[in-house]
Every structure is written in C-alpha cells, then in structure tokens.
Chains A and B, each alone.
Chain A
Amino acid sequence: GDSVTQMEGPVTLSEEAFLTINCTYTATGYPSLFWYVQYPGEGLQLLLKATKADDKGSNKGFEATYRKETTSFHLEKGSVQVSDSAVYFCALSDRNAGGTSYGKLTFGQGTILTVHP
C-alpha cells in the first residue's frame, strides 16, 4: 500500500537558518504530493503541492520538488522565521494512469518545527 515517511523530529532552528524536512514515499500509481502545515490549535492548511515528476511546488518561501527517481518530496526554506513554527505533514494522493485520483490522502507522521529568535 501507499506510505509516506518523514524525517524524525522535532526540529529546532534559529531564525534565518536553512530548513530541510525530508519526505519519501511509496505508491503504486502516479501520486500527487503535498505539504500541509498545522499551526498550534488549528486544522491543516495546504502549503504547496506537485502533481507530476520534476514539478516544483512553492509558497511563502517554501519549496519542494517532486523527485520520482528517489521517490522524494523534501521541503526546504532558505531563511525560517519564528512564525514558521508549526507541524509539517507530507502527504500523497495516488492516481491511476489516467490521472483519476483514488480520493484519499496518505500522511506522514508529521515534523514539529520550532524556530527561536
């Protein structure tokens, strides 16, 4: 079955540091890949997505590139801020060859990011 593995956390950084959160996946079809962010006490929000190999998703200074050869979708940001402190989830939605989604997301376990001033 489908699965998503995120790097072990939590991650603690100083403001303006470089961030990488690793994500690898296994899927039987042609998945779309997502990063969601959850701020304290809130639901999940879509941060970025990529729907096919070599696509780069980007938003709010965060980037991730869909790497089919390494089955990875690592999240990066060049300079983190205190306001980036949150839990980050990598997820996939598998699709058949025709592009039709199976309709379900599979999530990684989440990575807690804390950024200190």
Chain B
Amino acid sequence: NAGVTQTPKFQVLKTGQSMTLQCAQDMNHNSMYWYRQDPGMGLRLIYYSASEGTTDKGEVPNGYNVSRLNKREFSLRLESAAPSQTSVYFCASSATGRSNEQFFGPGTRLTVL
C-alpha cells in the first residue's frame, strides 16, 4: 500500500498561472481533504469530499477548485495563482467512522512568484 500519494512534490509558478495538484489514495477511504500549511498557522482546510461525488468548502476555499474524480482521486486546482497561495499543500483521506483518523500525503511545496 502506498497510502496517500501527491504530485508534484515541488512547483514554482508565476502569478496568474494555473495548475492542478493531484492526490490519490489506495486505502478505499470515502473521505478526502485538501489542507494548506503556513508557518505559525497550523493546517487549514481548503476543501473536502465526504464521499465520491460530493465536495464542500472548508475554512479557506477562495482561489481554489476541486474535483473528486473517483473514489481514489481528489485534485486541487489553482486557476490563477497568487503569491498568497505560496504554501505547502497536504492531501489526506479517512474512512467513515467515529474516530475520523486522517492519513496524510507527503505534501506539495508551491511557490508563486
């Protein structure tokens, strides 16, 4: 089992460019999440998908879109990147259940110039 995988690991964009961050999990989890991590602010939820076919906004959704392509894959798109979106992005997944333990990918470090 690879767990949660993310691509790319690093990316540099210019302001206004677009890109898609890819995430896949092989644990047959129903729920998937996208977070951003900024210094001193912990992790903040951008979007999540409670199950295949559904997506919902988290705490900081502005400037992002998501697609739950199938049960395994959940992508995050930046349509017009801004320097404020420079961050480390983490994808996570969890099974449906009481404890809601989430499993995290290795992250994508994005720099917007």
Contacts and interface: CB of A to CB of B under 8 A. Distances in A.
- Do the two shown chains form a genuine complex with each other? yes
Interface stretch (B13-21, B66-74, B77-85, B98-106): B98-106
B43 A107 contact: yes
B42 A103 contact: no
A51 B90 contact: no
Interface in B1-38: 4, 31, 33
A49 B99 CA distance: 8
Nearest to B98: A99
B106 A43 contact: yes
Interface size of A as a range? 20 to 34
A21 B48 CA distance: 29
A109 B98 contact: no
Interface residues of B, number: 27
A91 B58 CA distance: 16
Contact of B97 (A46, A89, A101): A101
B41 A109 contact: yes
B101 A46 contact: yes
Interface string A22-61: 0000000000101010000011111001010000000000
Interface of A: 4, 32, 34, 36, 42-46, 49, 51, 89, 93, 95, 99-101, 103-105, 107-110
